[in-house]
Copies of this chain bind each other. A is one copy, B any other.
Amino acid sequence: MMSGKAKSSTNTYHHGDLRSALIDAAIKIVAKKGASGLSLRAVAKEIDVSSAAPYHHFKDKQKLLGAIVEVGLEKFNRALTRSVKDSSSPDDRLRALGVAYVIFATENPNLFELIQSPDFAGDSAPANLAKERERNFRILFETIAACMPNASESQLRTGCAAAWALVHGIAVLAIDRRLNAVMPYEDLGSAMTNLIEQIGFTKAIRRDI
């Protein structure tokens, strides 16, 4: 038989590097049709392998999704890390971090929703993902800590929770254009600045210390 597929990069065996190929194809499908629109058979067909082939690399459909979440979290992490690099003042960094969070969500809506789905973000999430998530939280924690130099650990945690909840809420609502319906805007970045100004976020945090 021998399918005439072009081998993507380093060819080690039978059909090519199936595991990575599956992840790549699945990521594309998720980006286009969302996690609920992904079927293992479609992924397999895309790469021109049998429907059962994926099961030699992933125990489950859930495991494949988990792999997508993993690379998604890395991408997310890079975006957040990049965002705090160019700002000098702590407040600016916090703002930039929030904007980057929301921008990532709106630019990768399906990926973001998968990453945040209960199966991978809840307390029953796989351990390797928890580690990646911890890295993301560190960025926020340190940024907040710089904004509140005299705060206690518990105050910092509360600050993180508040900042995270606000930004996460904006992200979730912005993805489905529900925020826009309430508060019409053209540029999401400036809209967020408005929101943050209105809520007096950084000022409010500092005032309570």
Q: Smallest Cβ distance from A95 to chain B, in angstroms?
A: 14
Query: What are 6 inter-chain pairs, A to B, with CB distance below 8 A?
Result: A113-B118, A121-B178, A122-B176, A161-B182, A168-B173, A169-B170
Task: Report B-chain residues with C-beta under 8 Å of the C-beta of A172.
Answer: 116, 168-169, 172
Q: Does A159 contact B (CB under 8 A)?
A: yes
Task: Report B-chain residues with C-beta under 8 Å of the C-beta of A122.
Answer: 176-178
Contact A199–B166 (Cβ < 8 Å): yes
**B interface footprint on A147-181 (CB within 8 Å = 1, 0 otherwise):** 00000001101111110111111101101111101
Contact A160–B181 (Cβ < 8 Å): no
Q: Does A57 contact B (CB under 8 A)?
A: no
Give the number of times this chain occurs in the complex, counting copies: 2
From residue 83 to 126 of chain A, which have CB atoms closer than 8 A to chain B? Answer: 113, 116, 118, 121-123
Contact A200–B195 (Cβ < 8 Å): no
Q: Does A36 contact B (CB under 8 A)?
A: yes
Contact B183–A158 (Cβ < 8 Å): yes
Q: Does A58 contact B (CB under 8 A)?
A: no
- Segment with Cβ contacts to B, from A18-26, A42-50, A201-209: A201-209
Q: Does A197 contact B (CB under 8 A)?
A: yes
Q: Smallest Cβ distance from A204 to chain B, in angstroms?
A: 3
Q: Does A39 contact B (CB under 8 A)?
A: no
